[in-house]
Structure 1
Amino acid sequence: MDSVQSTAPRRVKVYTLEGDKWIDRGTGYCSGEVDNGPYFIVRNENDASETLLKANIEGSTQYQKQQDTLIVWTDNEGNDYALSFQEPEGCLSLCEFLINIQHNVEPNISLVAVISNGQDGEITEVIAGPVPEPCFPTDDNLVDVIELLNQGSKSNKFRETLLDFIENRNYLNKLIEIFERSEKNRNLMNLYYLCDVVKTLVFYNDSAILETFLDDDVIMGLVAILEYDPEFPNYKTNNREYLKETSRFKEVIPINDNEIKTLIKKTFRLQFLKDVVLARLLDDLTFNCISTMIHLNEGQILKFITDDASFLNDLFGLYDMQSEATIKKRREGIQLIHQFVLIAKKFQQTPRSEFYIALFNKGLFKLILFAFKDKLTDSRILATEIIVTIIEHDVLLFNKLETDDEKENEVDMTLVTILIDVLINDSNVGLKTQSFEALKVLLDPVNIESPSSPIGSSPASDLNHNETHDSISIGNEYLQSFYKNAALKLFLPIIKLDELKSDSSKINKNITITYSSLCELLNFMAKEHEKPLSRSFILENHLLVGISELINKSFSNQLRLSALRCLKSIIMLDDEFYTRYIIQNDLLKDFISMLDESNDSNNMVNSTCLNLLNIIVNNDTSINFRLLKNYLIVNYKSILKKNFLGRQWILSISDKEEEEDDDDDDWKRLLKS
Structure 2
Amino acid sequence: MGAQEKPQGNANSMQDAKSSGIIGINVLCSVYRLNDDGKWDDQGTGHVTVDYLEMIAYVIIQRSEELALFVFDEEDNETLLSHRISPDDIYRKQEDTIISWRDSEYCTDLALSFQENTGCSYIWEHICKAQRNMHFNSLSHETFHAMNNELRELPAVELSTLPIILKIVTESSLADQMQLTELILNDQAFFQKLMELFRICEDLEDVDGLHMIFKIVKGIIMLNSPQVFEKIFGDELIIDIIGSLEYDPFVPQVQEYRKFLKEHAVFKEVIPFKNPVVLSKIHQTYRVGYLKDVVLARVLDEATVASLNSIIHLNNAIVISLLKDDSTFIQELFARLRSPTTSAESKKNLVYFLHEFCSLSKSLQMAQQLPIFRDLMNEGIVDIITDALQSEDKKIVLMGTDILILFLNQDPNLLRSYVVRQEENLLLGLLVKGMITDFAEDMHCQFLEILRSLLDSVTFTGAQVPILIFYFCLQLLNFGRWEIVDSYSHATNYHMVRVGSNLLVFFIV
303 and 386 in structure 1: CA distance in 2 versus 1, 3 angstrom threshold: same
Q: Could you tell me how far apart the structure 1 residues matched to 2:365 and 2:440 are?
A: 33
CA RMSD between the two structures: 3.5
Distance 1:220 1:194 in 2: 14
- Deviations 1:302-330 (Å, cap 9, x if unpaired)? 2122222111111111222x442221111
The alpha-carbon deviation at position 422 of structure 1 amounts to 1.5
The structure-2 alpha-carbon separation of the partners of 1:425 and 1:249, relative to structure 1 and needing over 3 Å to count, comes to: closer
Counterpart of 1:361 in structure 2: which amino acid?
Answer: N
Shift of 1:373: 2.1
The answer on 1:285 being equivalent to 2:285 is no
Q: How does 1:455-494 map to 2 (within 5 A)?
A: 471=461, 474=462, 477-494=463-480
Aligned to 2:280: 262
Report the equivalent of 1:42: none
Alignment of 1:3-18 (within 5 A): none
In the alignment, the residues of structure 2 paired with residue 516 and residue 207 of structure 1 have an alpha-carbon distance, to the nearest angstrom, of: 44
Work out whether 1:163 is the aligned partner of 2:141.
Answer: no
2-side partners of 1:357 and 1:302: how far apart?
A: 15
Shift in Å at residue 344 of structure 1?
2.7
How far did residue 283 of structure 1 move?
0.9
The residue that corresponds to 2:445 in the other structure is 433
Assess if the C-alpha contact under 8 Å between 1:202 and 1:210 holds in 2.
yes
Match of 2:361 among 339, 344, 353: 344
Equivalence for 1:355: 372
2:449 maps to amino acid: E
- Report matched runs for 1:380-419 at 5 Å: 380-400=397-417, 413-419=425-431
**What TM-score results when the alignment is normalised by the length of structure 2?**
0.63
CA contact (8 A) 1:411 1:478 kept: no
Counterpart of 2:159 in 1: which secondary structure? coil
> Using the alignment, how far apart are the partners of 1:378 and 1:512 within structure 2?
25
1:60-139 residue pairs with structure 2 within 5 A?
130-139=150-159
Q: Deviations over 1:404-444 (max 9, x none)?
A: xxx7xx99955433211222235444322211122122212
How many pairs align?
A: 362
Q: Take 2:494 and 2:247, find their aligned partners in 1: how far apart are those partners?
A: 54
Cα separation, 2, equivalents of 1:177 and 1:309:
42
In the TM superposition, residue 379 of structure 1 has moved relative to its aligned partner by 0.6
**1:238 counterpart = 2:256:** yes
SS at match of 1:293: helix
Report what 2:191 is aligned to: 172
Distance across 2 between alignment mates of 1:412 and 1:396: 19
Match of residue 141, structure 1, among 161, 167, 170: 161
Any conservation in 1 of the 2:282–2:319 contact (CA below 8 Å)? yes
Residue in 2 aligned with 1:376? Answer: 393
1:190 correspondence with 2:223: no
Match of 1:206 in 2: 225
Q: Distance in 2 between matches of 1:513 and 1:520?
A: 10
Q: Please show how residues 231-630 of structure 1 align to structure 2 within 5 Å.
A: 232-320=250-338, 322-400=339-417, 413-446=425-458, 448-449=459-460, 471=461, 474=462, 477-495=463-481, 512-513=490-491, 523-525=501-503, 534=506, 538-539=508-509
* Pair 1:495–1:278, CA change in 2 (3 A): closer
Amino acid of the structure 2 residue aligned with 1:486: F
Q: Match of 2:164, as an amino acid?
A: D
* 1:526 shift after superposition: 6.8
- Deviation by residue 1:625-664 (Cα, 9 ceiling, x = unmatched): xxxxxxxxxxxxxxxxxxxxxxxxxxxxxxxxxxxxxxxx
Q: Secondary structure at the match of 2:327?
A: coil
Does the 8 Å CA contact 1:223/1:239 hold for their aligned counterparts? Answer: yes
Q: Distance in 1 between matches of 2:492 and 2:437?
A: 9
Mapped partners of 1:172, 1:281: distance in 2: 21
Identity of aligned residues (%): 23
Do residues 226 (structure 1) and 245 (structure 2) align? yes
Q: Distance in 1 between matches of 2:194 and 2:455?
A: 60
CA distance in 2, matches of 1:290, 1:510: 43
Q: State the structure with more CA Rg.
A: 1
Secondary structure of 2:271's aligned partner: coil
SS in 1 for 2:417: coil
Which whole-Å CA distance do the structure 2 matches of 1:335 and 1:160 have between them? 43
Deviation for aligned residue 1:144 = 0.3
User: Where does structure 2 lack aligned partners over 5 or more consecutive residues?
Assistant: 1-144
Q: Deviations over 1:147-198 (max 9, x none)?
A: 2334487455543331232xx32x3233233333333443322221110110
With over 3 angstroms needed to count, the CA separation of the structure-2 counterparts of 1:213 and 1:198, relative to structure 1, is: same
Q: Which moved more, 1:393-402 or 1:288-297?
A: 393-402
Q: Is the 8 A contact 2:435 2:448 kept in 1?
A: yes
AA partner of residue 448 (structure 2): F
Is this contact kept in 2: 1:317–1:323, CA < 8 A?
no
Amino acid at match of 1:524: N
**1:522 Cα deviation (Å)?**
7.2
CA offsets per residue over residues 261-307 of structure 1, 9 Å max, x none? 22222222222222221222211221122111222221111212222
Q: Is the 8 A contact 2:224 2:307 kept in 1?
A: yes
The structure, 1 or 2, with the larger RCO (C-alpha pairs under 8 Å, 6+ apart) is 2
Determine helix, strand or coil for the equivalent of 1:357: helix
1:453-477 CA distance string (max 9 Å, x none): xxxxxxxxxxxxxxxxxx3xx2xx2
Aligned to 1:181: 200
For residues 263 and 419 of structure 1, the distance between their equivalents in structure 2, rounded to whole angstroms, comes to 36
SS in 2 for 1:486: helix
The separation in 1 between residues aligned to 2:498 and 2:344, in whole angstroms, is 37
Query: How far, CA to CA, are the matches of 1:235 and 1:249 in structure 2?
Result: 28
Mapped partners of 2:493, 2:183: distance in 1: 69
Rounded Cα–Cα distance in structure 2 between residues aligned with 1:139 and 1:332: 47
Contact 1:134 1:149 (8 Å CA) reproduced: no
Give the counterpart letter for 1:311 in structure 2: F
- Structure 2: how far apart are the matches of 1:285 and 1:298? 20
Deviation of residue 229 (structure 1)?
1.5
Q: Deviations over 1:47-101 (max 9, x none)?
A: xxxxxxxxxxxxxxxxxxxxxxxxxxxxxxxxxxxxxxxxxxxxxxxxxxxxxxx
8 Å CA contact 2:386–2:426 kept in 1: the answer is no
Quote the offset at 1:377 in angstroms: 1.2
The offset of 1:511, in angstroms, is: 9.7
Distance 2:258 2:503 in 1: 55
> What is the CA–CA distance in structure 1 between the aligned matches of 2:198 and 2:499, rounded to whole Å?
63
Contact 1:391–1:438, Cα closer than 8 Å, also in 2: yes
- 1:141/1:300 Cα in 2 relative to 1: closer, same or farther (>3 Å)? same
What amino acid is the match of 1:483?
I
Structure 1 residues 214, 282: CA separation in 2 closer, same or farther (over 3 Å shift)? same
Aligned partners of 1:292 and 1:349: how far apart in 2? 17
Q: Matched residues in 2 for 1:214 and 1:515: separation?
A: 44
Distance 1:495 1:515, change over 3 A: farther
Amino acid at match of 1:316: F
